[in-house]
Amino acid sequence: DAGVIQSPRHEVTEMGQEVTLRCKPISGHDYLFWYRQTMMRGLELLIYFNNNVPIDDSGMPEDRFSAKMPNASFSTLKIQPSEPRDSAVYFCASSFTSTGNQETQYFGPGTRLLVL
């Protein structure tokens, strides 16, 4: 299996621009998670989906952030407009439900975002 795939790996943009991060979960996984990692706040859950439906978006920092999962193999996290404080590493992770439990989350390599 190729694992969780994220693109781009690095993104440098200017304040005010739209940024779109992409994720392809592991085939067969029914849960998808977006996390953000910063030095100050560590790893934070932003949003997660089950069977393409958003379940909990309470971690999404502001209305500037939005996430979609149009199908089981693709998700996007969009920031519009971007601000310097959005600079972070954004991770996507996926997991699957077995006998009613979902446990291990598998992480992608992350997208390192720098907003100037």
Partner 1 sequence: GNSVTQMEGPVTLSEEAFLTINCTYTATGYPSLFWYVQYPGEGLQLLLKATKADDKGSNKGFEATYRKETTSFHLEKGSVQVSDSAVYFCALNPGGGADGLTFGKGTHLIIQP
Smallest separation, CB 62 to partner 1 (Å): 18
- Distance in Å, CB of 18 to partner 1, minimum: 24
Select from 13, 20, 45, 52 the one that contacts partner 1 (CB under 8 A): 45
Q: For partner 1, which is the closer residue by CB, 81 or 109?
A: 109
Tell me how far apart the alpha carbons of residues 39 and 110 are, in angstroms, rounded to a whole number. 15
Give the interface segment with partner 1, choosing from 20-28, 35-43, 61-69, 71-79 (CB under 8 A): 35-43
- Complex with partner 1: residue 3 or 16, whichever CB lies closer: 3
Q: How far apart are CA 103 and CA 1, in angstroms?
A: 18
Q: Give the DSSP letter string of the chain.
A: ----EEE-SEEEE-TT--EEEEEEPPTT--EEEEEEEETTTEEEEEEEEETTEEEE-TT--STTEEEEEEETTEEEEEESS--GGG-EEEEEEEE-EETTEE---EE---EEEEE-
Tell me if 101 contacts partner 1 by CB under 8 A: yes
**Closer Cβ to partner 1, 8 or 16, answer by number:** 8
Which residues lie near partner 1 (CB under 8 A)?
4, 31, 33, 35, 42-43, 45, 48, 50, 55-56, 59, 91, 93, 95, 97, 100-110
